[in-house]
């Protein structure tokens, strides 16, 4: 069941990065018909996305969540790696969200999942997500998969895999039934990155090192097959 630390009483935002949330989500869905059907079949998609956005109470002290509720801004603090988790985590079901960098990646920029026990700040410029057994991450800078402080290979598994471009949207798919984490980019399914995930509550998370960079995360709901 979802873990929840919602801050109650806050207004529901209607925009992300200067655009209406419905427009933001639609732009991604237009690239893939099944995402369009998934999002626009739910009248409460905007409310749901806000409920699953970054938590202002569960992030590094060196970041803040912008008023839109969906975008993390990392302050220019030297020798620090800083991250954030979402308000709600998952221990069952299938879930998808979209994440993208709106500024430079720096030397390390990781997206993935974490338990509540995983740290969201540490000294130095490191791959925070994946640095222990409580988190799993994909470093968009060097395409390495990270878990338990080790590199679990390159991803996606193909020759000369393209590097992430700023603004490019990555869809993350967490399947707690199959215990897998997978990624999509545009029309392309990149494959399963991690298997054998534990049956614990896992939260969408990111970690960043570049000063004044911004990362946006929007929850999409249950992925549709086909």
**Domain assignment present for 44:** yes
**Domain assignment present for 6:** no
pLDDT for the residue 1: 55
Number of domains comprising the chain: 1
**Domain assignment present for 18:** no
Name which residue leads in pLDDT, 94 or 226. 94
- Which CATH number belongs to the domain containing residue 80 in this structure? 2.60.120.920
Which of 176, 184, 174, 108 lies closest to 146, judged by CA?
Answer: 108
For the stretch 71-83, pLDDT in tens is: 999 999 999 999 9
For the stretch 160-192, pLDDT in tens is: 888 999 999 999 999 999 999 999 998 799 999
Whether the per-residue pLDDT at 17 is higher than 60: the answer is: no
Q: Specify whether the CB–CB gap between 38 and 224 falls below 8 A.
A: yes
Q: Specify whether the CB–CB gap between 29 and 184 falls below 8 A.
A: no
Domain limits for position 217 = 28-221
Compute the C-alpha angle 94/91/6, nearest 5°: 95
Is the pTM above the cut of 0.85? no
For the stretch 137-168, pLDDT in tens is: 999 999 999 999 999 999 998 878 889 999 99
pLDDT mean across residues, the chain: 85
Average confidence (pLDDT) over 110-117: 98
Beta carbons within 8 Å of 110's beta carbon, 6+ residues apart: 83, 127, 128, 129, 130, 137, 138, 139, 140, 146, 206, 207, 208
**Domain assignment present for 9:** no
């Amino acid at each position: 069941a979802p873990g929840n630390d919602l801050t109650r009483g806050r207004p529901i935002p209607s925009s992300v990065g200067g655009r209406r949330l419905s427009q933001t989500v639609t732009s991604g869905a237009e690239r893939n018909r099944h995402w369009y059907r998934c999002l626009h079949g739910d009248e409460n998609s905007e409310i749901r996305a806000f409920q699953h956005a970054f938590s202002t109470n569960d992030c590094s002290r060196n970041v803040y969540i912008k008023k839109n509720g969906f975008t993390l801004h990392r302050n220019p603090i030297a020798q620090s790696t800083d991250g954030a988790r979402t308000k709600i985590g998952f221990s069952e079901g299938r879930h998808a969200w979209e994440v993208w960098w709106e500024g430079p990646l720096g030397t390390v920029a990781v997206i993935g999942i974490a338990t509540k026990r995983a740290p969201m700040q540490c000294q130095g410029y490191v791959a925070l997500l994946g640095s222990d057994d409580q988190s799993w991450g994909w470093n968009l800078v060097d395409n390495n998969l990270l878990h338990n402080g080790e590199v679990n290979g390159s991803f996606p598994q193909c020759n000369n895999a393209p590097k992430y471009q700023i603004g490019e949207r990555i869809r993350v798919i967490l399947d707690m039934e199959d215990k897998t984490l997978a990624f999509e980019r545009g029309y392309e399914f990149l494959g399963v990155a991690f298997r054998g995930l534990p049956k614990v509550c896992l939260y969408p998370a990111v970690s960043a090192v570049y000063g004044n960079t911004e990362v946006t995360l929007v929850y999409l709901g249950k992925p549709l097959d086909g």
